[in-house]
Structure 1
Amino acid sequence: MQRNRSTPDGTQWINGTPEVLVFDVNETLIDFESISPLFEKVFGDRRVLREWLANLIMYSMTVTLSGLYKDYFSLGQGLLRMAGEIHGVEVTASDIDEIKQGMLTMPAHPDVEPGLRLLQNAGFRMVTLTNSPPNPNGKSPLEQAGLAPYFERQFHIESTRSYKPAPLVYNLVAQELEVAPSNCMMIATHVWDTVGAQSTGFTGGLLTRPGNAPLPLGGLPQPHIVAPDLPGLASELITRCRS
């Protein structure tokens, strides 16, 4: 039986409990900060990683809204050269290749596997949805991090040629899994991702990793669960859905 459950701010679960947990990958499961030494090596300042990553998110949305498409790694490479122009640094082909390889081999956050085990033992279906393309020449970042066995499928945005948070991307996941959007929960560390998913009917779970927080703005969907780490989110979700 489906049940509506209230969140602390008074909003409701949409049609009850989620059956499928859809995880973002970059920063949510995998530690992007692990490649900050590469940015320090190239730019002399590891903080350029955050500048570059913010631009990668912004320009991925830009190309989608403009009706264009460039794959994630090509876009990232162009933005590395842009950062070089901004900071007066020559970014070489070997620099770009080293950062690309670093992105393919980032480790998982230490809290992720314990949280995934809790959710797996509670019987949730779990998949991933990422802007990053698959690696045609080897393991995916999720496989490199040792997390792939927890997920029944790994979804990428390439088949839609649209980046998150375009509604088409989230709807594709629900359609492919043959479940209603209302039976899916998007779990991410970025509010723009939970907002995008919730606008299509998903429920939302937000991990407030360093540098991330809810956006308390009326008229925008608020996450149904907010937690600082995945075991905390898993425990709250299990309590709500299994009680």
Structure 2
Amino acid sequence: MSELEIDALVFDVLGTLVDEPAGIRAGIHELVPSLDGSRAHELLSLWQQHIDREQRRVLDGDRPYLTSDALDQEAARLIADAAGVDDPAAVAALALSGRRLPPWPDTVAGLARLAERFPLIGLSNASRTALLGLNAHAGLRWHQAVSVEEARTYKPDPAVYQLAVTVSGRPPERLLMVAAHAWDLRGAQRLGLRTAYVARPVGDPPAASDRFDLHADGLADLADQLDKLQGA
């Protein structure tokens, strides 16, 4: 690959900077405090499968675009039905659990360090409203936070990564997409962005055939590598 010269960093949010399963699991336990770990895991899987399936249907043209808020509401109703809960207020609270996701331990300090050298762009499948709440709850620092709602589709549609290119005003090869999901990085590569995989417990690890520019154990490791590349 050519030399890595970066003008801005583009971050996936869900899973990369915040622990999405932990936040949803906490919401499920609030809905039904008596659940044991196995049953809570089953309901979390039901939530995740619904979101993944319906986003894929949007990408495949089988369903009109809906914001992440609408999909979360659908998922919350599914969970409540499966758990035998019919309290509308409790279901509504569960639907908002995607805005109360805890950051990974290195996230806040890592973003602050990286922001000293690069403009930071958040690029998330979360809606504008959900992204605002999520950023505030987790204490995420951005120079710009962009929702896929602007493109009315979901990652890995190229139109989403184009949002970051447009916002940055830089050519795609001068942007570094940072994610814990190999599928997300592949989508960014197709539009010409450079890529950095950051390992997380809930991520999608690279396949043997993937060729990403950087591989990091966390944000501190990513910052160290970029410092060396940029001659800090």
Matched, 1:169 2:160: yes
Distance 1:188 1:54, change over 3 A: farther
RMSD of aligned Cα (Å): 2.4
Distance 1:38 1:208, change over 3 A: same
Match of 2:27 in 1: 38
Match of 1:180 in 2: 171
Range that drifts further, 178-187 or 96-105:
96-105
Higher helix share goes to which structure? 2
Question: Residue 65 of structure 2 aligns to a residue in which SS?
Answer: coil
Contact (CA 8 Å) 2:31, 2:91: kept in 1 or not?
A: no
| Separation of aligned partners in 2, 1:181 and 1:54 | 32
Distance 1:139 1:83, change over 3 A: closer
Residue of structure 1 aligned with 2:149, choices 145, 158, 161: 158
TM-score after normalising by structure 2: 0.85
| Separation of aligned partners in 2, 1:172 and 1:139 | 17
Matched, 1:132 2:162: no
Q: Per-residue deviation at 1:88?
A: 5.8
Residue of structure 1 aligned with 2:180, choices 189, 197, 218: 189
Question: Residue 135 of structure 1 aligns to a residue in which SS?
Answer: helix
Contact (CA 8 Å) 2:182, 2:206: kept in 1 or not?
A: yes
Question: Residue 58 of structure 1 aligns to a residue in which SS?
Answer: helix
Q: How many residues align?
A: 224
User: 1:27-86, CA deviations, whole angstroms, 9 ceiling, x for partnerless residues?
Assistant: 21122213413223446333122441243133212212216211111112213333455x
Contact (CA 8 Å) 2:23, 2:100: kept in 1 or not?
A: no
Match of 1:233 in 2: 222
Matched, 1:16 2:21: no
Amino acid at match of 1:17: E
Distance 1:175 1:145, change over 3 A: same
Question: Residue 27 of structure 1 aligns to a residue in which SS?
Answer: coil
TM-score after normalising by structure 1: 0.81
Residue of structure 2 aligned with 1:76, choices 51, 54, 72: 72
Percent identity among equivalent residues? Answer: 25
Distance 1:58 1:192, change over 3 A: farther
Structure 2 unaligned residues grouped into runs of 5+: none
Q: Per-residue deviation at 1:139?
A: 4.7
Structure 1 unaligned residues grouped into runs of 5+: 1-11
Q: Per-residue deviation at 1:231?
A: 1.1
4+ residue runs over 3 A deviation: 40-43, 82-85, 87-92
Contact (CA 8 Å) 1:80, 1:91: kept in 2 or not?
A: no
Contact (CA 8 Å) 1:38, 1:46: kept in 2 or not?
A: no
Contact (CA 8 Å) 1:187, 1:207: kept in 2 or not?
A: yes
